[in-house]
C-alpha cells in the first residue's frame, strides 16, 4: 500500500529580503515535517520573492540566493522530506528561473523554467532565459559540484517519482509535466507565482484538474502570496493539491501568515490507472525525451494520521446537487440504450417481472420513461407479478399498486402450483428448502416472462444490478437471464438513490409514497416461506453481507485492482463507526470467494448498457476465466 503525504506551502516573504524569506521557508519545512509530509513545494522564486524585477540583475541578490540555498541544504540534513524551492540561477551569462530540489543536506537537482511569459502583465524575458532545451547538464555551485540540471529530471524513491515544472509551464499547450509523466513521474510539483485577476483562480484550478487527469498523476501547486510587491499586481498564495482529475484540497487564498496545505496521495491508484490505460502506455513509447533518474531514499513511509477522504459509497456522489445530476444522466443512459434496442428490434412491447423490490422497481421506471420518450402507450408495458412461497403482503401490495399507478398492463401469475408440480416431476421434497427449492421458483418466473414476451412480441427486460452480478446472487438461467438488462452496471447503493430521486422529482404523490415504502423494505428474493408474522424471512444482506461493504470492495477491486491490504485498510478506516474489523474481514472473504466462483454466470450475461466506471460485462470491462482460483486473494 503506497500512500504519501505531500504539502504545498506559501511562506510570508519580503521582496528581496532573502534572510527573512529563508526563515519563513524553514518554518514551513518544519510544519510540513510535523504533519509527516514527504514533499513540500514552495512558490516560484520564493527565496528572493518573485517581484524583484530589475533587482534580479544585481549580483548581490543572485549571490545571496545561492548562499541561502546552502543554508537551506544544511537545514535539511537528517530531515526526511523532499523540498522544492524557487530561486534564480546565474549560469553562462544567462539567468534561469529554477526549482531547486533539496534532500538531506544536498541539492539533488535543478529544474529550469521552460516557458518564460512575456505578455500582458508578465515581462520575465527581461531577466530570465528559457531552459526548455537543457537536459543532462550539470551545475557547480560554491558548496556542491556536478548538480544535475535540466528539464528531464525525475527524483525517485521507490514507487514515488517526482517531477517539477515552474508556473507558466502548466499554461502551455504541452506542459513539461506531460513528458515527465510519460517518463515515469507520478507526483508533479509546480512552483508558481500567479497573480490574481477576476476568475483567474477558477481557471488555474481547472488547469490543475485537467493536467493531473491527462498525466494520471498527482499535482501539487504552490503560488506566491500577498506579500509580493503590489506595485501593479496582487498575489493570493493559492495552494492546490490535485489527483487524477480532481482537487483533493485547496486553501483559502489571501492568507497573511505562513501556510502549509497537506494531503495524502494514493500512488497505487495512479499507477493502476496508467497500467489500465492503453493510450497512456502507447504515449510512453512515443515520448521524445529520456529521463535522468535521480535516486534517493526516504527513511520511512509514515504519512501520519489517515485523513484522506474515502467515500463510504464510492459509486454515489456525496453532494445532493451532484447526485441529482448523476441520476438524470444515468436515466438518460438507460433509457437511450433501451430505446435503441426497442427501435432496432421493432418491438412495441416490454415484459418485466415486478416483485415489489428495488431492482425491478428501478427497471420499471426506466421502461416507463423510455416508452414515454418513444411515444409508445404505457399499456404496452406488460408488468407481471408472480407470487410464490415467500411473497409477503407488503411486497405484493407495493407491486400491484405501483404497476396500476403507472398505468401498465398488469398481470398476475401465481407460481406455487407450477413449482409444486415441478418438485414432483424432479422428485424433490417441497419441505426441503434448499438451493433447488429456491432456484425452481426463479426459473419458473423467468420462463413465464420469456414466454409472455414471445407471445406478445415484446422484450423481456432484466432487472438484476451490478452488486448482484459481482456476487453471483442470481439463479443461472433464472433471473440471471433476459432479452435486455437495464440495471446491469448499477450497484445496489446507487439503485437506492435512483429510486429515491424518482420518488422526489418525477412522479405524483401517491406513486412517490409507494416508492418510499419499497425503499424501506428489506432486500430479499423472497424464495423462502415468510415468517410466522407474514414478514420477509430471507434477507439478502444477512446471507451475503451488507451491500454497502460489497460495493466498496467491488469499486477498489475492479476500478483500481487494489491489494487486499489496501481494500481492507480503507474499509476499516471508512466504516470504523459501523462495523468492527472482524466483520469487515469476514464479508471481504465472502466477496472474494463469490466473485471468483460465480464468474461463469457473468460470462453468459445478456446485453445491457455500461453506466459507470465499473462493469462486469464479458464483452467489455471484465475478461476473466470462469475457473480462476481465488487462493492468491484468500490466505486460508
Q: What is the 3-state secondary structure (H, E, C) of 29-70?
A: HHHHHHCCCCEEECCCCCCCCHHHHHHHHCHHHHHHHHHHHH
CA–CA separation, 575 and 594 (whole Å): 22
**Average pLDDT, stretch 414-428?**
96
CA–CA separation, 368 and 345 (whole Å): 18
**Cell of residue 353, nine digits:** 417481472
* Residues constituting the chain: 636
**Average pLDDT, stretch 422-450?**
95
Each residue's pLDDT tens digit, 230-242: 999 999 999 999 9
Least confident of 75-79, 449-453, 501-505: 501-505
CA–CA separation, 261 and 98 (whole Å): 22
| Torsion over CA: 17, 23, 27, 30 (sign) | positive
State yes or no: pLDDT of 99 exceeds 80. yes
For residue 560, give Cα distances in angstroms to 249, 466, 563.
21, 17, 9
CA–CA separation, 517 and 401 (whole Å): 11
Active site residue 44: yes
Helix (H/G/I), strand (E/B), else coil: 119: coil
State yes or no: pLDDT of 97 exceeds 90. yes
Each residue's pLDDT tens digit, 308-349: 999 999 999 888 899 999 999 999 999 999 999 999 999 999
Could you tell me which residues come within 8 angstroms of residue 179 by beta carbon, excluding any fewer than 6 positions away?
A: 152, 287, 288, 289
**Average pLDDT, stretch 161-189?**
97
Least confident of 159-173, 316-330, 571-585: 316-330
CA–CA separation, 449 and 478 (whole Å): 10
State yes or no: pLDDT of 524 exceeds 70. yes
> Quick check: 425 and 417 in contact, CB under 8 A?
no
**What does 527-571 look like in DSSP terms, one character per residue?**
-S---TTSS----HHHHH--HHHHHHHHIIIIIS---HHHHHHHH
Residue whose grid cell is 509530509: 37
Given this model, what pLDDT does residue 160 score?
97
Per the annotation, binding residues for ATP are 353-360, 463
Give the phi and the psi of residue 345 in degrees, each rounded to 5.
-80, -15
Given this model, what pLDDT does residue 288 score?
85
For residue 413, give Cα distances in angstroms to 145, 446, 567.
87, 12, 44
DSSP state of 251: P
Given this model, what pLDDT does residue 522 score?
81
**What does 254-266 look like in DSSP terms, one character per residue?**
S-SS-EEEEEEEE
CA–CA separation, 185 and 215 (whole Å): 9
537: pLDDT confidence band, cut at 50, 70 and 90? low
CA–CA separation, 375 and 265 (whole Å): 50
Q: Which of 10, 167, 419, 488 is catalytic?
A: 167
CA–CA separation, 386 and 456 (whole Å): 18
390: pLDDT confidence band, cut at 50, 70 and 90? confident
**Average pLDDT, stretch 597-607?**
95
Per the annotation, binding residues for L-glutamine are 119, 194, 200
**Average pLDDT, stretch 587-611?**
95
> Quick check: 153 and 294 in contact, CB under 8 A?
yes
State yes or no: pLDDT of 528 exceeds 80. no
% residues pLDDT > 90 (the chain): 90
For residue 176, give Cα distances in angstroms to 113, 135, 167, 214, 344.
9, 12, 11, 12, 48
* Nearest by Cα to 587 from 612, 624, 561, 557: 557
DSSP state of 388: -
Given this model, what pLDDT does residue 578 score?
95
Distance linking the first and last C-alpha atoms of the chain: 21
**Average pLDDT, stretch 170-199?**
96
Helix (H/G/I), strand (E/B), else coil: 76: coil
Q: Which of 38, 113, 161, 566 is catalytic?
A: 113
**Cell of residue 560, nine digits:** 483500481
Per the annotation, binding residues are 119, 194, 200, 353-360, 439, 463, 468, 473-476, 601
533: pLDDT confidence band, cut at 50, 70 and 90? confident
**Cell of residue 94, nine digits:** 544567462
Here the contacts of 176-179 (C-beta below 8 Å, separation 24 or greater) are 176/114, 176/132, 176/151, 177/211, 177/215, 177/217, 177/219, 178/211, 178/214, 178/215, 179/152, 179/287, 179/288, 179/289
CA–CA separation, 242 and 265 (whole Å): 9
Helix (H/G/I), strand (E/B), else coil: 449: helix
Q: Which of 28, 38, 44, 488 is catalytic?
A: 44
Write down the mean pLDDT value for the chain.
Answer: 94
Strand-pair partners of 4: 265
State yes or no: pLDDT of 90 exceeds 90. yes
**Which of residues 429 and 319 earns the better pLDDT score?**
429
Given this model, what pLDDT does residue 634 score?
86
**Average pLDDT, stretch 482-493?**
96
Question: Is pTM, for the whole model, over 0.95?
Answer: no
All domains of the chain, ordered by start, with CATH? 7-295 (3.60.110.10), 320-535 (3.40.50.620)
Active site residue 113: yes
**What does 557-609 look like in DSSP terms, one character per residue?**
IIIS---HHHHHHHHHHHTTTTS-HHHHHHHHHHHHHHHHHTHHHHTTPPP--
Helix (H/G/I), strand (E/B), else coil: 145: strand
636: pLDDT confidence band, cut at 50, 70 and 90? low
Amino acid at each position: 500500500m503506497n500512500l504519501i503525504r505531500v504539502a504545498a506551502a506559501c511562506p510570508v516573504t519580503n521582496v528581496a529580503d532573502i534572510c527573512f524569506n529563508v526563515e519563513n521557508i524553514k518554518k514551513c519545512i518544519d510544519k510540513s515535517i510535523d504533519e509527516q509530509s514527504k514533499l513540500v513545494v514552495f512558490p516560484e522564486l520564493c527565496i528572493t520573492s518573485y517581484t524583484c524585477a530589475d533587482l534580479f540583475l544585481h549580483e548581490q541578490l543572485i549571490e545571496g540566493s545561492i548562499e541561502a540555498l546552502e543554508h537551506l541544504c544544511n537545514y535539511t540534513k537528517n530531515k526526511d522530506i523532499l523540498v522544492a524551492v524557487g530561486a534564480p540561477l546565474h549560469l553562462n551569462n544567462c539567468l534561469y528561473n529554477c526549482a531547486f530540489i533539496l534532500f538531506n543536506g544536498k541539492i539533488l537537482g535543478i529544474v529550469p523554467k521552460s516557458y518564460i511569459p512575456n505578455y500582458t502583465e508578465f515581462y520575465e524575458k527581461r531577466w530570465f532565459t528559457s531552459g526548455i532545451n537543457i537536459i543532462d547538464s550539470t551545475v557547480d555551485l560554491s558548496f556542491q559540484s556536478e548538480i544535475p540540471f535540466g528539464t528531464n529530471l525525475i527524483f525517485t524513491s521507490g514507487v514515488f517519482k517526482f517531477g517539477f515544472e515552474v508556473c507558466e509551464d502548466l499554461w502551455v499547450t504541452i506542459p513539461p509535466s506531460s513528458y515527465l509523466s510519460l517518463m515515469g513521474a507520478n507526483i508533479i510539483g509546480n512552483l508558481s507565482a500567479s497573480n490574481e485577476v477576476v476568475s483567474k483562480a477558477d481557471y488555474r484550478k481547472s488547469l490543475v484538474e485537467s493536467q493531473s487527469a491527462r498525466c494520471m498523476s498527482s499535482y501539487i501547486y504552490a503560488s506566491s502570496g500577498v506579500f509580493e510587491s503590489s506595485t501593479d499586481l496582487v498575489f493570493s498564495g493559492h495552494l492546490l493539491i490535485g489527483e487524477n482529475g480532481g482537487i483533493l484540497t485547496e486553501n483559502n487564498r489571501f492568507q497573511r501568515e505562513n501556510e502549509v496545505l497537506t494531503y495524502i496521495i494514493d500512488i497505487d491508484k495512479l499507477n493502476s490507472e496508467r497500467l489500465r490505460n492503453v493510450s497512456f502506455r502507447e504515449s510512453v513509447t512515443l515520448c521524445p525525451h529520456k529521463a535522468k533518474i535521480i535516486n534517493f531514499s526516504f527513511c520511512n513511509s509514515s504519512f501520519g494520521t489517515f485523513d484522506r477522504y474515502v467515500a463510504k459509497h464510492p459509486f454515489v456522489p456525496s453532494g445532493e446537487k451532484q447526485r441529482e445530476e448523476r441520476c438524470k444522466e444515468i436515466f438518460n443512459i438507460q433509457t437511450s440504450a433501451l430505446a435503441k434496442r426497442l427501435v432496432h428490434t421493432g418491438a412495441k412491447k416490454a415484459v418485466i417481472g415486478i416483485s415489489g423490490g428495488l431492482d425491478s422497481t428501478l427497471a420499471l421506471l426506466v421502461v416507463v420513461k423510455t416508452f414515454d420518450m418513444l411515444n409508445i402507450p404505457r399499456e404496452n408495458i406488460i408488468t407481471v407479478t408472480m407470487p410464490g412461497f415467500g411473497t409477503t403482503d407488503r411486497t405484493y401490495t407495493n407491486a400491484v399498486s405501483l404497476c396500476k399507478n403507472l398505468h401498465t398492463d398488469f398481470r398476475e401469475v401465481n407460481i406455487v402450483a407450477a413449482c409444486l408440480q415441478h418438485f414432483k416431476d424432479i422428485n424433490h421434497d417441497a419441505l426441503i428448502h434448499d438451493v433447488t427449492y429456491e432456484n425452481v421458483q426463479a426459473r419458473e418466473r423467468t420462463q413465464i416472462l420469456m414466454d409472455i414476451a414471445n407471445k406478445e412480441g415484446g422484450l423481456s427486460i432484466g432487472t438484476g444490478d451490478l452488486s448482484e452480478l459481482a456476487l453471483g446472487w442470481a439463479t443461472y438461467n433464472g433471473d440471471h437471464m433476459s432479452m435486455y438488462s437495464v440495471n446491469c452496471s448499477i450497484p445496489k447503493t446507487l439503485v437506492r438513490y435512483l429510486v429515491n430521486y424518482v420518488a422526489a422529482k418525477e412522479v405524483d404523490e401517491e406513486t412517490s409514497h409507494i416508492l418510499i415504502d419499497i425503499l424501506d423494505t428489506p432486500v430479499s428474493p423472497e424464495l423462502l416461506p415468510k415468517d410466522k408474522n407474514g414478514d420477509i424471512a430471507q434477507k439478502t444482506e444477512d446471507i451475503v453481507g451488507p451491500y454497502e461493504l460489497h460495493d466498496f470492495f467491488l469499486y477498489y477491486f475492479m476500478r483500481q485492482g487494489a491489494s487486499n491490504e489496501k481494500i481492507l485498510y480503507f474499509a476499516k478506516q471508512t466504516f470504523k463507526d459501523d462495523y468492527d474489523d472482524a466483520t469487515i474481514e469476514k464479508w471481504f472473504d465472502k466477496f472474494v470467494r463469490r466473485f471468483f466462483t460465480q464468474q461463469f454466470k457473468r460470462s453468459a450475461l445478456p446485453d445491457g448498457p455500461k453506466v459507470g466506471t465499473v462493469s462486469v460485462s464479458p464483452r467489455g470491462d471484465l475478461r476473466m476465466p470462469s475457473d480462476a482460483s481465488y487462493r492468491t486473494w484468500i490466505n486460508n
